[in-house]
Amino acid sequence: MGRIMAIDYGKKRTGLAVTDPERIIATGLTTVETPKLMQYLADYCAREQVDLFVVGEPKQMDNTPSESAQYIEPFLGELAKKFPEKEICRMDERFTSKIAFQAMIDGGLKKKQRQNKALIDTISATLILQNYMDLMVKG
């Protein structure tokens, strides 16, 4: 069984999280500059077996796509083309950045550390992945 990778796609930076090979634990992996993302994914997938990508789906409160959805659609096409053998799922990412920031506060990170947007992106990807895993276990 291969890993599941969550992608919190952003215009500048993209947060990544993965499961262990048994798909039990979701762990933050890293944040990558978005222009370098496809190469990073190719390198990672050459080293590790990844069966599924879970890509965050930005939505408004009324469940319509948010403004940032326009940037994700071209990425999804590129991802499917580059990795045709891998399944791609979407997962609602509403509030993940706010929850990530609160988790940093709750975890005792100092103000300077909480300003690290790359860390917020990685935590957000981990939340997307954990939400997906929770949904699959219940579903």
Domain boundaries, the chain: 3-138
Q: What is the pLDDT of residue 15?
A: 95
- Residue 97: the pLDDT is 66
Hey, is 32 helix, strand or coil? strand
Domain spanning 3-138: CATH superfamily: YqgF/RNase H-like domain (3.30.420.140)
Weakest-pLDDT range from 13-17, 64-68, 85-89, 119-123: 64-68
Predicted local confidence at residue 23, as pLDDT:
94
More confident residue, 117 or 64: 117
d(CA 16, CA 26): 11
Q: Please give the average per-residue pLDDT across 51-59, as a whole number.
A: 89
pLDDT confidence of 70, banded at 50, 70, 90? confident
pLDDT of residue 33: 97
Q: pLDDT band for 65, please (50, 70, 90 cuts).
A: low
Q: What does the pLDDT look like over 93-113, one tens digit per residue? A: 766 667 666 776 777 767 777
